[in-house]
Structure 1
Amino acid sequence: MDIQAQLELHKQWLETDGKDGKRFDEPHLSRAILNGANLSGAYLVKANLNETKLIGANLSKAHLSGAYFKEANLSDARLMGVNLVGANLSGTKLVRAILAESNLEGADLFEANLEGANLSEANLVGTNLGGANLCSANLIDTNFLGAKLNNANLTGADLTGAYLTKANLTGADLTGANLNDTNLVEANLRGAKLVNTSLKGAILCNTTMPDGSIDNSGCR
């Protein structure tokens, strides 16, 4: 049975509470090689894609909430507008992946590789990006409310207009990053590297700076 047929059966299974179709889970996609596959609009809620190769695949507008992508390779994949709420992407390779306008609220991206990825206008509220590689990533207008970015590599990243209220940026490397017009209210930057970092227009209020001091210059 080809992959499109399996996906349709999984969708039926979910819509009928298991009375029809067939669940699409571990036996089918874990460690599968799906490089370049067109899975746009696919319904893979809670599916197991651990260690799956999806290099250059099209997953735009797919339903992937609660899915497992641990150590999968999604480099150069298109995931624009994707629902990844609560998904597990720890250790996943997402180099140059397009995740613009996607919903990753509460997702686990611990130590994921997002170098050069596009996450502009994405929802990353409460997302775990601890130790993640976001070097040169496009994070314009991204929502990081309460996100964990501790020890993340954000060198050269563009965070213009990003919402970083209550974000944990302890130990993060922001060398050469653009944080112009960001909202850093109650953000924690203790131990972070801000070498050649631009903070023009950034809002600092009850913000913990790298040296542990509190900056209230932007409080109203």
Structure 2
Amino acid sequence: MTDARILSLNVGAGVARRYASGPTTAIDKRPVDAVEVRVPGSMHGGLGSGVVGDDIGDRRHHGGRTQAVYAYAREDLDWWETQLDRPLPNGMFGENLTTVGVDCTTARIGEVWRIGSVVLRVEVPRIPCATFAGHMGVRGWVKRFSQVGRTGAYLSVMEPGALRTGDEIRVERPGHDITLLMNFRAAMGDREAAARVLDSGVLAEEEHDWLARRVGRRVPR
């Protein structure tokens, strides 16, 4: 994949908002030149974000090992700009990495992104929530975002280190065909997609168990 790179690195401080699902929200992120990424540990009791200096307001549902870093493609932000008829600056969707040249919709589960000394792994799609809807201020945003399916990618940190704006992203795709979009459709109730994703065994254990509970099915690992 050519010319795949980080266009913008974005972090946010926790701020109390009436639409926040936790005490605060850091969805309103702003660009910085460089960040350190870390392995944050578990969602419950860990460090929260995998990006040092980035807050997680609702640690019941966000952050942790498989949601350490959130990436969203500038190409998808540009598409949304045309749909909403308004500018969407880098970081507007709460992403830590605004990328160019990387498909964050049909990325495959387990895909590896090498960025300098940092190694990230594609884990799960973003599930839209009330905080996201409140931040966007668009009526019916959760339904609209879900119908489109341009979810962005949550990544785990396999090897920590420093990232800088403009860093090249080298993508290594696994041989299977289980994508973030398929996983998202499974989470939204598509039982055929759920069966394919769960039977594939490509999800991290906690994400496998979460999806199985959501669709009411238990599949041995």
Q: TM range, normalised to the smaller chain? A: under 0.3
The normalised TM-score by structure 2 is 0.24
Q: Which has the higher contact order (CA 8 A, sep 6+)?
A: 2
Name the structure with the higher strand share: 2
Tell me the TM-score normalised to structure 1 length.
0.25
Q: Greater Rg, structure 1 or structure 2?
A: 1
- Structure with the bigger percentage of helix: 2
